[in-house]
Amino acid sequence: MELCRRLHDLFADKAARSRVALVSVGLGYTAVVTEDGGIGLAYTYFETKQSCGLKRDYVDWEGQPADGLLAYLTGSDTIRRSMALALINALNYPFAFDLPEDSDNRILLETLAIEQGTRVAMVGLIKPLARRCESMGASLVILDAARHIGRPADFYRQLQGPVDVLIMTSTSILNHTAEEILSHAAPSVKTVVIGPGTPMVADAFLPLPVDLLAGTVPLDKNQVLRAVRHGAGTPVIQKYARKVYLKLNRSR
């Protein structure tokens, strides 16, 4: 929760000077576009769908000041939290756009020193990356609540012991588990936050034991928005985007 508060505070001033141009809540991802051309993504996070609508009190945010939408980041509504995180990524778009590329995750693997015998813990199963790690001789332990994989207590114990690397999807920000998970990691564990919704904002992560941020910058905005509207996932979105990274300097 503190991570979300820091993100909110870091972007409060810019949000107050910005307006929302477009909001698209897809089955897989949510996209927000600001009037200055920024575009950001976040995983569409909802726990249950019990009616035809996911939000009881509808608000049309398009054309409205962005700070109202930003306020949802620390609220209880998970759909609106997704919208707010996508907004942050839209506000941060100019900075993220200039970050270096890691199209094949080579920098990620090198930074985390994944090799034969490396013990990797993954929060949120990313199948292509899991296969890549295993092909390099690493062993994996996975915690993914949506897929009913793993038990938190067992996973946390391994973070204290044999695990060398922790890979967390940015969904852990949306469900407010990121800080809890990181609190169980031994100081020696190298950590990355990864996924299209990852906010590439070093200052937000400074108090946390995170070594690397790996995110996504949309390039063909129209195609990315089309993919979001069509309920497409990460592999489709990445066709029209660029993977970027940001190394963090954290004390151990």
pLDDT tens-digit map of 112-170? 999 999 999 999 999 999 999 999 999 999 999 888 999 999 999 999 989 999 999 99
DSSP state of 60: -
Confidence (pLDDT) at 155: 95
Cα atoms found within 13 Å of the Cα of residue 222, Cβ hemisphere only:
0
Residues in the chain: 252
Strands 241-247 and 212-218: antiparallel
Confidence (pLDDT) at 53: 58
Q: In CATH, what is the architecture of 2-97?
A: 2-Layer Sandwich (3.30)
Beta bridge partners of 25: 30
pTM surpassing 0.85? Answer: yes
> Which residues of the chain are in CATH 3.30.390.100 domains?
2-97
- The predicted model gives 38-57 an average pLDDT of 76
Contacts of 27 (CB under 8 A, 6+ apart): 44, 231
Confidence (pLDDT) at 145: 86
Taken in order 40, 44, 45, 51, is the CA torsion positive or negative? positive
User: Is residue 190 scored above 60 in pLDDT?
Assistant: yes
For domain 106-217+240-247, give its CATH number from 3.40.50.620, 3.40.50.11590, 3.40.50.1820, 1.10.287.1080: 3.40.50.11590
DSSP state of 239: T
Q: How confident is the model at residue 249 (pLDDT cuts 50, 70, 90)?
A: confident
User: Is residue 55 scored above 80 in pLDDT?
Assistant: no
